[in-house]
């Protein structure tokens, strides 16, 4: 039995009794679509979607329908079928489908990364079964055969997958403009909110705070204010800006130091900002407080 068939069998008991026991290709596709986190109530965007790869602007990327009053707990921004009653017949339908194209065929991760570079996006690798792709773009499920899925917002990925997060179109902002941009408080904060020097009477935008965990600079061979550019490449820093800085402390508690900016700036703008910070600003060490 193929992985696709096994995946289908996981949800077969939930199908109506009048559905044939042998799945048709259309039914199989529908089942896999459900496993990818899509459906009639899945996702919607402000832009009309086409059946080919779509480039969306920042205002329409990664948007999910507003939660219903009787819906279950929030899924953290990932589009999925809510545990709620079906919407009334006269309710507004989503503007665009989440999945615009599915293509069978085995691909290598290197090929996916190259295709993602051509789309001005960044890749994410997902753990076996139920990883989550963050945004509009395309995902590849490493099944047999593999399946490439174009999607218009976030959703649950398949097994052993990799996805490409396509960032907004390049608006031409310079690195300085990105770093000093004033952003609304309802989303990711301005870079200068955390990284500029606010210790004086006026903010100093010529300095850049580099954050360290307690004791990190004292560790042998560790990251310091003197070698911070060597310990993290420009490519790594750009992806940190795109996807945020989250993880766990040694005691297992979580940290979330920086929000992701892949919905706010283009890949080119993020990379310009990283180069600006690395070459034009004076680094200043700052320590992250993790306990009293």
One domain for residues 188 and 150 = no
One domain for residues 204 and 276 = yes
One domain for residues 180 and 256 = yes
pLDDT value of residue 134:
74
pLDDT value of residue 93:
41
pLDDT value of residue 144:
81
pLDDT value of residue 128:
57
End position of a domain, from candidates 166, 201, 218: 166
Furthest CA-CA distance within the chain = 73
Spatial neighbors of 180 by CB under 8 A, at least 6 apart, are 190, 191, 192, 205
| 77 lies in some domain | yes
One domain for residues 151 and 200 = no
Number of structural domains the chain divides into: 2
One domain for residues 160 and 182 = no
One domain for residues 136 and 182 = no
pLDDT value of residue 247:
92
One domain for residues 191 and 114 = no
pTM value surpassing 0.85: no
pLDDT value of residue 38:
38
147 CB burial (10 A radius; 0-12, 13-18, 19+): buried
pLDDT value of residue 136:
83
pLDDT value of residue 83:
34
Show the domain range for 230.
Answer: 175-287
pLDDT < 50 stretches in the chain: 1-97
Long-range contacts of 26-34 (CB under 8 A, 24+ apart): 28/4, 29/102, 31/7, 32/4, 32/7, 32/8, 32/102, 32/147, 32/158, 33/99, 34/81
């Amino acid at each position: 039995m193929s992985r696709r068939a096994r995946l289908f069998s996981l949800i077969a008991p939930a199908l109506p009794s009048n559905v044939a026991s042998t799945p048709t290709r259309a039914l199989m596709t529908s089942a896999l679509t459900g496993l990818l986190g899509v459906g009639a109530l899945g996702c919607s965007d402000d832009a009309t979607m086409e059946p080919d790869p779509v480039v969306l602007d920042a205002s329409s990327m990664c948007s999910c329908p507003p939660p219903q009053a009787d819906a279950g707990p929030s899924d953290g921004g990932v589009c999925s079928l809510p545990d709620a009653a079906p919407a009334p017949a006269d309710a507004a339908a989503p503007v665009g489908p989440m999945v615009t194209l599915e293509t069978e065929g085995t691909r290598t991760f290197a090929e996916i990364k190259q295709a993602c570079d051509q789309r001005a996006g960044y890749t994410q690798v997902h753990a076996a079964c139920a990883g989550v792709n963050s945004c509009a773009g395309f995902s590849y499920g490493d099944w047999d055969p593999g399946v490439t899925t174009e999607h218009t917002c976030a959703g649950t990925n398949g097994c052993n997958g990799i996805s490409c997060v396509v960032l907004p179109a390049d608006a031409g902002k310079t690195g300085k403009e990105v770093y000093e941009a004033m952003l609304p408080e309802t989303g990711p904060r301005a870079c200068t909110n955390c990284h500029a020097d606010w210790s004086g009477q006026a903010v100093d935008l010529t300095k850049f705070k580099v954050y360290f965990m307690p004791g990190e600079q004292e560790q042998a061979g560790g990251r310091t204010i003197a070698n911070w550019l060597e310990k993290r490449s420009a490519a790594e820093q750009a992806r940190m800006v795109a996807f945020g800085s989250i993880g766990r402390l040694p005691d297992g508690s979580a940290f979330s130091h920086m929000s992701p900016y892949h919905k706010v700036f283009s890949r080119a703008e993020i990379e310009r900002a990283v180069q600006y910070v690395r070459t034009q600003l004076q680094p200043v060490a700052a320590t992250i407080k993790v306990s009293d």
